Copies of this chain bind each other. A is one copy, B any other.
Amino acid sequence: MSSTISTLSEEDRLRLLRELSDRLGADHVITDAGEIKAASLDSRRRRQGEALALLRPGTPEEVAEILRFASRSHLVVIPQGGNTSTVGGATPNPESPLNARTLILQLSRMNRILGIDAVNGTMTVEAGAVLERVQAAAREAGKLFPVSFAAQGTAQIGGMLAANAGGVHVVRYGMARRNCLGIEVVLADGRILNLMRSVRKDNAGYDLKDLFIGSEGTLGVITKAVLDLSALPAGRITVFASLGELRAVEKLFTTLEDFAGPSLTAFELISKPALEPVIAAGRKAPIEPSDWMVLFDLSYTKREDPEAFAESLTDALSPLFEDGTLADAAIAQTETQAEALWTLREEIPTAVRASGGNIKNDISVPRGSLCAFIEETYVRFETEAPWLLPMIFGHYGDGNLHFNLGSKPDFGPGYWKAHEREIHRLVNDEVVKFGGSVAAEHGVGAKIQVLERTKDPLELELMKKLRGVFDPEGILNPGRVVRYPEDVWQNPKEAWD
């Protein structure tokens, strides 16, 4: 699909829409300008795209029919789940000449939970099922679906898998990939690939499933999945603590891992400037905030006595108060108290947005180098961008921080807006230097140039070849993840890097 063939006459437009309606039913081909506009805006409301129509198929066969039709008619297709991608992975490229020929394929009608096998510990779902409903269904069956992140009330399973979403429980349960045993995928040529395995050991051939997971709709459209359920913990102990200094996080984390092993189910690091907007908005911190704080969960199973657990935790932490690792800590033993502590963490993005926003970097660095990375980056900020206010928080346990950077009050809350690209570059260069990832849990989406600037050309070459195997014409989510075809139109104004 080349940008040279992307014009479309009004006559062609009407004919294509009629042919799509013949296939899906007119109700499922949405041409209402308002609805198209809403679905063409990314979740961070930064890039307004356009599209020919929204399609809402009801079956994998209809998805297949759409892809065959798109291929024949020189249309491109953007698969869209809950449209919660923060990197433009599910919305059209603004101003792209391809937009007149873009179909947004929404999976929302294919949202059934098809079954739970309690003995196998698996749930079979359609791709449009909303994550929160899947979590609830698992709990009702006495099991846990552990993938959990802010957008879970809107995000769909298909999108979660396409983006290989992360979240707060990765330290214990891994990314979306690890919690999925099988998928059904419609290929660009309309063939349906059945990889709906529900076994935990399967070495019968290459691992195709994990190639589609994390490919953000560029290699195929995920239409069904077999999810791996975990044992449901009986409860959790949640701790909000202030650290003596940044480096203390290492000792605290290794102590907890050693002490509690798989009970450590979340471990978040929060810097003071990230928490301050939450406090300013009226929330009360349970302890005096220090420069660096942590929030962590220790889960326990049915067999355990929560009080004995809490007691042993207090014993394990007490030397850390003595040696200055910890300054203060609040321990929540009821779920209500735990939720109150988590609210402080969960409200950071909203409070920060209200207070002027910031430059967002979704990066990871090996845990063992994370403190050095923060220190070195902060030094560069002081000399190269003294206006900058780091508002760091995120998943220390996974080495994944939301390395978000606002501007100091003196410079005005929106000062950062003129410096986004240069700051992204500075941060990404440091990430690469420390062996980290410039797209840790949110995906690549429109950040193609970031990958082109930071990745080994050999890896990019192989990615393009793989895209060529699965979608030779480039009809799936063009201009996302990796440039394919080579001449795919890129919005020069897209400052995602």
Asked whether A465 is an interface residue with its Cβ less than 8 Å from the other chain, the reply is: yes
Cα distance A140–B261 in the bound complex, in angstroms: 17
Asked whether A442 is an interface residue with its Cβ less than 8 Å from the other chain, the reply is: yes
Establish whether residues A301 and B261, one from each chain, have CB atoms under 8 Å apart when the complex forms. Answer: yes
**Shortest Cβ distance from A450 into chain B, in angstroms?**
8
Cα distance A212–B205 in the bound complex, in angstroms: 11
Asked whether A121 is an interface residue with its Cβ less than 8 Å from the other chain, the reply is: yes
Establish whether residues A170 and B201, one from each chain, have CB atoms under 8 Å apart when the complex forms. Answer: yes
**Shortest Cβ distance from A366 into chain B, in angstroms?**
4
By a CB distance below 8 angstroms, the chain B residues around A201 are 166, 170, 175, 364, 395, 398-400, 437, 440-441
By a CB distance below 8 angstroms, the chain B residues around A215 are 206
Within 8 A of B (CB), among A439-463: 439-444, 451, 454-456, 458-460, 462-463
Nearest 10 CB-CB pairings of A with B: A262-B262, A120-B368, A119-B368, A231-B261, A202-B437, A204-B439, A210-B210, A117-B368, A261-B301, A201-B440
Cα distance A368–B116 in the bound complex, in angstroms: 10
Q: Residue on B with the closest CB to A89? A: B203
**Shortest Cβ distance from A283 into chain B, in angstroms?**
27
Q: Which stretch of A21-29, A104-112, A191-199, A343-351 is in the interface?
A: A191-199
Establish whether residues B198 and A435, one from each chain, have CB atoms under 8 Å apart when the complex forms. Answer: yes
Cα distance A120–B463 in the bound complex, in angstroms: 28
Cα distance A91–B485 in the bound complex, in angstroms: 40
The 12 sampled A-B contact pairs (Cβ below 8 Å) are A119-B367, A142-B258, A164-B207, A199-B400, A206-B219, A206-B463, A206-B482, A259-B301, A260-B301, A262-B263, A263-B301, A462-B470
Number of copies: 2
Asked whether A436 is an interface residue with its Cβ less than 8 Å from the other chain, the reply is: yes
Asked whether A369 is an interface residue with its Cβ less than 8 Å from the other chain, the reply is: yes
Asked whether A312 is an interface residue with its Cβ less than 8 Å from the other chain, the reply is: yes
Number of interface residues of A (CB under 8 A): 99
Cα distance A201–B178 in the bound complex, in angstroms: 12
By a CB distance below 8 angstroms, the chain B residues around A482 are 205-206
Asked whether A208 is an interface residue with its Cβ less than 8 Å from the other chain, the reply is: yes
By a CB distance below 8 angstroms, the chain B residues around A465 are 469
Asked whether A466 is an interface residue with its Cβ less than 8 Å from the other chain, the reply is: yes
Establish whether residues B262 and A261, one from each chain, have CB atoms under 8 Å apart when the complex forms. Answer: yes
Given the known interface contacts A204-B455, A215-B206, A399-B120, the answer about A199 and B260 at a Cβ–Cβ threshold of 8 Å is no
**Shortest Cβ distance from A365 into chain B, in angstroms?**
7
Given the known interface contacts A198-B435, A400-B200, A437-B199, the answer about A262 and B231 at a Cβ–Cβ threshold of 8 Å is yes
Q: Residue on B with the closest CB to A315? A: B303
**Contact flags A375-410 to B (C-beta < 8 A → 1, else 0):** 000000000000000000001001110000000000
Given A207-B210, A258-B302, 13 more pairs with CB closer than 8 A: A120-B366, A120-B399, A193-B456, A197-B437, A199-B435, A202-B439, A202-B440, A203-B440, A204-B439, A259-B302, A260-B301, A263-B301, A304-B312
Q: Which stretch of A65-73, A150-158, A249-257 is in the interface?
A: A249-257
Asked whether A287 is an interface residue with its Cβ less than 8 Å from the other chain, the reply is: no
Given the known interface contacts A118-B254, A459-B193, A462-B469, the answer about A303 and B260 at a Cβ–Cβ threshold of 8 Å is yes
Contact of A440 among B199, B365, B439 (CB under 8 A): B199
Asked whether A41 is an interface residue with its Cβ less than 8 Å from the other chain, the reply is: no
Asked whether A316 is an interface residue with its Cβ less than 8 Å from the other chain, the reply is: yes
